[in-house]
């Protein structure tokens, strides 16, 4: 298993081009199942997760071609016919979001057998809201031996769906199923994340009729068929936020080309409060930090437009060197502090109680061997390593490879001493 070694202490200077958003790209790839025509996705990130999903889609009948287009990496997807409506455990287990093929398979063929995703590192992550949405749309759903058997022999029907809590995946799943349902679907309690807006825009380019994406109330008028389209994946706000914190941690000045400040305000406001310089540009951001120590600030994760849970580990790493005590509250997932003991191995002073972590800033972190536990936690450890004295070696880097494209290359180009150790 590969590891990443970081020698701390080098400030970052340079430009980092932000890739297309992983969390958008995988849902857009799933949307390609809804039409027999080609969907061309540009600004595609090349990640382990997009590869996993490509393998699943091929098995369902899609042709998936990755190629270099005039504006960078793109993926051409076409599912002339669903050859199998079966998504096996070994593929769904590798990436939870592949569960979202269930809705499109049902919409297109009237039946599907899809494995339940199972637990993951950051909590139980049930799919009850996904299933409630599909049931509301008229699907019959049974569970046997870890598989969902779903039927909608006479097609899905528009319905009212009221989500009791905000779920990105369930909102997207409802959208992916409702666009081809007969009649109108009214969704309340919808998640408002930029990835929802991205999916809605791509579906609209394919001919879907969706109003209200990005708000808690969405209306979808079903259409009888969708067409092919070309769509550019939005820039990854989590990748951009991560590099913003890398620059804040290491010091220096970094331009994040393509980042959309409007999608990242919760983080940017906290960075400014801590003393980081943030300049908002039309096509990106500049993040600056002079030598001064950052001030401790508190965060609480919550659905968009709140502070993203996917940036919590990185912010905790940043606060471990701030002046004073910071309280980090995680309200989205129940088990998302697994990076705290790893940061403690580097000298951070963090105590966790339930959903709250208290981070008392220390003057110095020391490099250490640490272990990645999930995608975002692992990049938090890389950020800590950028400012630690000596060498930090992050093990289980496959977590990182799921969601960060060419991380060591992007950081090294700005002067960081980061290298991959191949096994």
Q: Concatenated DSSP letters for 376-393?
A: HHHHHHHHHHHHSBSEEE
For the segment 195-224, give every residue that binds ligand UD1 (CB under 6 A).
195
The CA distances from residue 385 to 83, 310, 338, 378, 379, in Å, are 47, 19, 17, 11, 10
- Of the two residues 143 and 165, which places its CB atom closer to ligand UD1 in the complex? 165
Question: Under a CB-based contact definition with an 8 Å cutoff, are residues 100 and 173 in contact?
Answer: yes
Task: Name which position in 32, 98, 309, 378 contacts ligand UD1 (CB under 6 A).
Answer: 309
Residues 6+ apart with CB under 8 A from 339: 313, 316, 317, 373, 377, 378, 380, 381
For the segment 3-62, give every residue that binds ligand UD1 (CB under 6 A).
23, 26
Query: Can 120 be counted among the known catalytic residues?
Result: yes
Question: Looking at beta carbons, which residue is closest to ligand UD1?
Answer: 169
Task: Name which position in 3, 108, 130, 289 contacts ligand UD1 (CB under 6 A).
Answer: 130
- Nearest CA to 237 out of 298, 288, 311, 297 is that of 311
Q: Strand pairing partners for 40?
A: 76, 230
Residue 168 binds ligand UD1, judged by CB under 6 A: yes
Task: Name which position in 174, 218, 268, 332 contacts ligand UD1 (CB under 6 A).
Answer: 332
Q: Which stretch binds ligand UD1 (CB under 6 A): 163-171, 222-230, 404-412, 415-423?
A: 163-171
Question: Under a CB-based contact definition with an 8 Å cutoff, are residues 416 and 250 in contact?
Answer: yes
Which strands, in side-by-side order, build the sheet including 391-395?
369-371, 391-395, 3-7, 417-421
Residue 165 binds ligand UD1, judged by CB under 6 A: yes
Task: Name which position in 91, 127, 240, 350 contacts ligand UD1 (CB under 6 A).
Answer: 127
Containing 105, the helix (H) or strand (E) segment is helix 102-109
Distance CA 125, CA 280 (A): 35
Residue 169 binds ligand UD1, judged by CB under 6 A: yes
CB of 158 to ligand UD1, least distance (A): 21
The single-letter DSSP state of residue 340 is: H
CB of 293 to ligand UD1, least distance (A): 30
Q: Which stretch binds ligand UD1 (CB under 6 A): 37-45, 124-132, 243-251, 359-367?
A: 124-132
- Nearest CA to 298 out of 275, 273, 321 is that of 273
Q: Which stretch binds ligand UD1 (CB under 6 A): 119-127, 270-278, 351-359, 365-373?
A: 119-127
- Of the two residues 242 and 392, which places its CB atom closer to ligand UD1 in the complex? 242
Residue 125 binds ligand UD1, judged by CB under 6 A: yes
Residue 343 binds ligand UD1, judged by CB under 6 A: no
Paired tokens of 125 = 């992550």
Q: Which stretch binds ligand UD1 (CB under 6 A): 60-68, 145-153, 162-170, 198-206?
A: 162-170
Residue 116 binds ligand UD1, judged by CB under 6 A: no
Question: Under a CB-based contact definition with an 8 Å cutoff, are residues 100 and 169 in contact?
Answer: yes
CB of 340 to ligand UD1, least distance (A): 17
Q: Which stretch binds ligand UD1 (CB under 6 A): 8-16, 123-131, 139-147, 220-228?
A: 123-131
The span from the first CA to the last CA of the chain, in angstroms, equals 6
Paired tokens of 17 = 């081009």
Task: Name which position in 239, 310, 330, 405 contacts ligand UD1 (CB under 6 A).
Answer: 310
SS3 content of the chain, % helix, strand, coil (to 5): 35, 30, 35
Residue 402 binds ligand UD1, judged by CB under 6 A: no
Query: Does the N-terminal peptide bond of residue 305 adopt cis geometry, omega within 30 degrees of 0?
Result: yes
**Catalytic residues, which ones?**
120
Chain residues that interact with ligand UD1, rule: CB under 6 A: 23, 26, 96-97, 123, 125-130, 165, 167-170, 191, 195, 309-310, 332-333
């Amino acid at each position: 298993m590969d590891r990443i070694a970081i020698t701390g202490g080098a400030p970052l200077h340079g430009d980092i081009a932000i890739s297309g958003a992983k969390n958008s790209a995988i849902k857009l790839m799933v949307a390609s199942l809804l039409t027999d025509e080609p969907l061309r996705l540009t600004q595609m990130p090349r990640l382990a997760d997009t590869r996993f999903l490509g393998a699943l889609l091929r098995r369902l009948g899609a042709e998936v071609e990755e190629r270099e287009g005039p504006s960078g990496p793109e993926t051409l997807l076409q599912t002339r016919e669903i050859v199998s409506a079966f998504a096996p455990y070994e593929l769904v287990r590798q990436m939870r979001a592949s569960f979202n093929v269930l809705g499109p398979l049902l919409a297109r063929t009237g039946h599907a057998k899809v494995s339940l995703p199972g637990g993951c590192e950051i909590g139980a992550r049930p799919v009850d809201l996904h299933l409630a949405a599909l049931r509301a749309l008229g699907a019959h759903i049974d569970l046997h031996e870890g598989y969902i058997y779903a039927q909608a022999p006479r097609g899905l029907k528009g319905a009212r769906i009221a989500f009791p809590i905000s779920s990105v995946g369930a909102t997207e799943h409802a959208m992916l199923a409702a666009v081809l349902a007969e009649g109108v679907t009214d969704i309340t309690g919808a998640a408002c994340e930029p990835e929802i807006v991205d999916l809605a825009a791509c579906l609209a380019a394919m001919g879907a009729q969706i109003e209200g994406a990005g708000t808690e109330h969405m209306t979808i008028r079903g259409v009888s068929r969708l067409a092919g389209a070309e769509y550019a994946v939005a820039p990854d706000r989590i990748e951009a936020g991560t590099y913003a914190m890398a620059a804040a941690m290491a010091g220096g000045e970094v331009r994040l080309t393509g980042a959309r400040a409007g999608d990242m305000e919760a983080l940017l406001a906290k960075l400014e409060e801590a003393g980081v310089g943030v300049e908002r540009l039309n096509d990106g951001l500049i993040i600056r930090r002079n030598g001064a120590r950052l001030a401790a600030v508190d965060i609480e994760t919550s659905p968009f437009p709140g502070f993203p849970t996917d940036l919590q580990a990185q912010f905790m790493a940043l606060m471990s060197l701030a002046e004073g005590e910071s309280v980090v509250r995680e309200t989205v997932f129940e088990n998302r502090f697994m990076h705290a003991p790893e940061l403690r191995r580097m000298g951070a002073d963090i105590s966790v109680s339930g959903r709250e972590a208290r981070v008392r800033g220390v003057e110095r972190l020391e490099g250490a061997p640490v272990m990645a536990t999930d995608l975002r936690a692992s990049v938090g450890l890389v950020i800590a390593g950028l400012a630690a004295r000596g060498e930090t070696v992050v093990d289980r880097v496959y977590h990182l490879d799921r969601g960060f494209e060419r991380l060591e290359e992007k950081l090294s180009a700005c002067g960081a001493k980061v290298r991959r150790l191949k096994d």
